[in-house]
Amino acid sequence: KAGVTQTPRYLIKTRGQQVTLSCSPISGHRSVSWYQQTPGQGLQFLFEYFSETQRNKGNFPGRFSGRQFSNSRSEMNVSTLELGDSALYLCASSSGTPGGGYGYTFGSGTRLTIV
């Protein structure tokens, strides 16, 4: 069974640009969540999707957005990139409803570096 696939694995962008990250969940999983991980900050929740609907959103500015497609694949977009957006962006899928007791399966993440 294939795991959660995130593309690309590494990305270097300059300030002011925008970026789109992709996540393919485990087949059959309908819940996809996104997290930002930076050294010393742990896992910061971005948003959560279930059946193409955003169910939860974290405390990030409107430059961060996402969507989920009918096949459960998800994308997140960051516009007007800032140096502070440099981080590991993790996608996690779950077989249950968001936050439910099925646990997350995480992808390996996309390492985004802003220069």
Partner 1 sequence: QQQVKQSPQSLIVQKGGIPIINCAYENTAFDYFPWYQQFPGKGPALLIAIRPDVSEKKEGRFTISFNKSAKQFSLHIMDSQPGDSATYFCAASPFSGGYQKVTFGTGTKLQVIP
Q: Which residues bind partner 1 (CB under 8 A)?
A: 4, 33, 35, 41-43, 45, 48, 50, 55-56, 58, 90, 92, 96-101, 103-109
Q: Please report which residue ranges of 1-115 form alpha helices under DSSP H.
A: none
Partners of 30 in the β-ladder:
none
17 vs 95 by CB, closer to partner 1 = 95
Nearer Cβ to partner 1 (15/102):
102
CB of 91 to partner 1, least distance (A): 8
DSSP letters, 5-43, are EEE-SEEEE-TT--EEEEEEPPTT--EEEEEEEETTTEE
- Closest approach, Cβ 80 to partner 1, in A, equals 25
User: Which residue type occupies 62?
Assistant: G
Closest CB to partner 1 among residues 76, 90? 90
